[in-house]
Amino acid sequence: MTGTESGGIVLVAGLFATCVLWGVWRAGQWMLRRDKSWNDAIGEVMAATVQRRDRDQSLGIILECSVQALGAYSGTLHLARAERSVYELAHAVNVERLDWLAALPAEDALTRLLGSSSKPVLLTGMQLAARWQALAAGSDGGVVATHLGKHALLVLGWTSARAAERQLPVVQAIQRYAELVMGEYAELEARAADIQALSASLNHYDRMTRTAAHDLSNKLTAAHSLLDLATASDEWDGEAADLVKQAMEQLSLSQPLVEEVGDPNRKLELERLPVEELTQLAAAMLARRRRERAVIFKLEVAPNIPAVWGERLAVLRILDNLIANSVNHNAQRSDLHIWLRVWAEGDRVLFEVGDNGIGISDEAMPQLFEFGFSTDSTGKVKGHGLGLWSSRRLVEAMGGEIWATSDPGLETCFYFALPAVAGRPELSGAALAEGRLAVSQPAT
C-alpha cells in the first residue's frame, strides 16, 4: 500500500470519527434540551399547585399548566362524579366542541385503555374517534391520557402524533405528582371526617355532663338543706352534731366542683378572706382524717397577717387537696407530721403545706401540676391526677402561683401565694381581674 493510499484511509477514518462525534454531541444536546424541557414542565406544574384550595381546583391547575408547559393543542379534565363508569367533563382548555366531550362512556376506546393501564396511554391517527380528533385538531394528531388520582382523567392533544408520543414520559411524571397531591387531599378528608365524628361525640358528652352536673347540684343543695335543718334541732349535740357539720362542709366544697363541670369557665366570686378563719377550717377538715390514723398536725400563722383576696371555697379546696395528699401518699409512715404555715411576704400571703413523708422524685417534679399526672416515689400511679392540676387552676385564677419542693425520704412542701388585700386584684393582671378559671388541656 502506497503512502498516498494510507493517507487517504486515515483522512476518511478521521472524517468518519468526526461525524460520529458530532452526531453524539448533537444527540447529547438534544437529550439535555429534552430533559430540561421536561424538568421545566414538571416544575411549572408543581409551582402552580403550591397554593391550591381544593381537589377540583388543583386538578384544573394541573390541566392548564400541563397544556401550556408541554405545548399541547388542547386538554380536558374529566371526573367520575355521577357514576364510576362515566366520566363527566369538569374543565377544558382550547376546546371548541364541548358537547363532544361532555361525558366519556365506558365503551370509549380511550376509557377502555385507561381502565387496563396504570401508565399514560397514546392514541394516534385512525385510533382517534371524532371527539379526540377535535382535541388534537385533526386525524394527524395524537392524544395522551392518564389517570390523576382514582376518579380523574387528564387528556392532552397535539397536532402531531410524534409530538404527543415524545411527551409520554413527562406526562407520566406529572401523573405521579398529581397522585401525591390527591393523596394529600384524601388524607385531609379522612382527618376531617375523624374530627367531625370526634366533635359530635364531644358535644354529646358535653350535653350529658352538663345535664348530670345540673341534677347533681340540685341533689347537693337539697342534702345541704336537710343537714342544716338537722343541726337546728335540739336533738343533735356532741359528736353527732360535729359530724353533721363536717358533712355540710364537705357538701359546700363539692358544690363549686359541680359548678365547674357545668361551666368550666365560671367566674370566681372574689372577696376579702381572713387568713385565720381559712386555716382554722382547714385544720377542722384534717380532724376527720386524724380519727382514721395517727397524724401529728401543727398550725403556724404569723401575727398580724393581712387578709387575702380570693374565693373562700376555692382556697379551702386547695388546702384540702394539699392536706389530703400528705395523708394519702404517706400511708406507710407511722410517725407522720403535717404542718400548715402562713406568713406575709411583700404584697402577698404565702401558704405552706408540708409533711415528713416519702417525698417526690426529681423526675416527677416538673409534671406535678399537669393534668392526669400522679405518682409516688416508687413510681406507682395513684388516683386520677386531678387534685394538683385543679389547685393550680384555682390559684392562678385568683392571681397567685403554686409550686413545690421535696427532699425524698425527708419532707415535701407545697406552697401557694395569694395577693394580700392591700394589693387590689386590678393591679395583678387580667387573670385575677377577670377571676376566670383557665381550662388548660393536658400536654401531648
Measure the CA angle with vertex 124, ends 26 and 83; round to 5°.
Answer: 125
Quick one: pLDDT at residue 402? Answer: 95
Neighbours of 200 (CB within 10 A): 10
30 assigned to some structural domain: no
Q: How many domains does the chain have?
A: 3
- Whether 178 and 274 share a structural domain: no
- Whether 255 and 270 share a structural domain: no
Question: Cβ distance 309 to 349 under 8 Å?
Answer: no
Distance CA 241, CA 249 (A): 12
3 assigned to some structural domain: no
- Whether 281 and 249 share a structural domain: no
Q: Which of 218, 233, 263 is the last residue of a domain?
A: 263
- Whether 222 and 335 share a structural domain: no
Q: Domain containing 149 — which CATH number?
A: 3.30.450.40
Distance CA 160, CA 164 (A): 6
- Whether 274 and 232 share a structural domain: no
Quick one: pLDDT at residue 249? Answer: 65
- Whether 332 and 373 share a structural domain: yes
- Whether 274 and 405 share a structural domain: yes
Domain of residue 126: give its range: 37-189
Place of cell 405521579: 176
- Whether 272 and 418 share a structural domain: yes
439 assigned to some structural domain: no
17 assigned to some structural domain: no
Quick one: pLDDT at residue 97? Answer: 81
10 assigned to some structural domain: no
Per-residue pLDDT of the chain (444 residues; tens, 9 = 90+): 555 555 555 555 555 555 545 444 454 444 444 444 555 566 665 555 555 567 788 888 888 888 888 889 999 988 886 555 688 888 899 888 888 888 888 778 888 888 888 889 998 887 888 888 888 888 889 999 998 877 788 999 999 989 989 888 888 888 888 888 777 777 777 777 777 777 777 666 656 665 655 556 555 655 656 566 666 666 666 666 666 666 666 666 666 666 565 555 667 788 999 999 889 888 877 766 555 667 888 999 999 999 999 988 889 889 988 988 888 888 777 788 999 999 999 999 999 999 998 888 888 888 888 877 776 544 343 555 678 888 898 899 999 999 999 988 889 999 999 999 874 444 343 444 445 554 443 333
Quick one: pLDDT at residue 13? Answer: 54
Distance CA 300, CA 51 (A): 66
- Whether 217 and 271 share a structural domain: no
Question: Cβ distance 319 to 353 under 8 Å?
Answer: yes
Q: Which of 246, 263, 280 is the last residue of a domain?
A: 263
Distance CA 261, CA 81 (A): 46
- Whether 272 and 172 share a structural domain: no
328 assigned to some structural domain: yes
- Whether 60 and 148 share a structural domain: yes
15 assigned to some structural domain: no
Task: Give me the sign of the Cα torsion angle 129, 132, 137, 139.
Answer: negative
- Whether 80 and 145 share a structural domain: yes
Distance CA 125, CA 92 (A): 22
Quick one: pLDDT at residue 30? Answer: 43
Quick one: pLDDT at residue 25? Answer: 42
Instruction: Find the largest Cα–Cα distance for the chain.
Output: 148
Among 306, 329, 291, 289, smallest CA distance to 414 is for 329
Neighbours of 185 (CB within 10 A): 16
Q: Domain containing 428 — which CATH number?
A: 3.30.565.10
390 assigned to some structural domain: yes
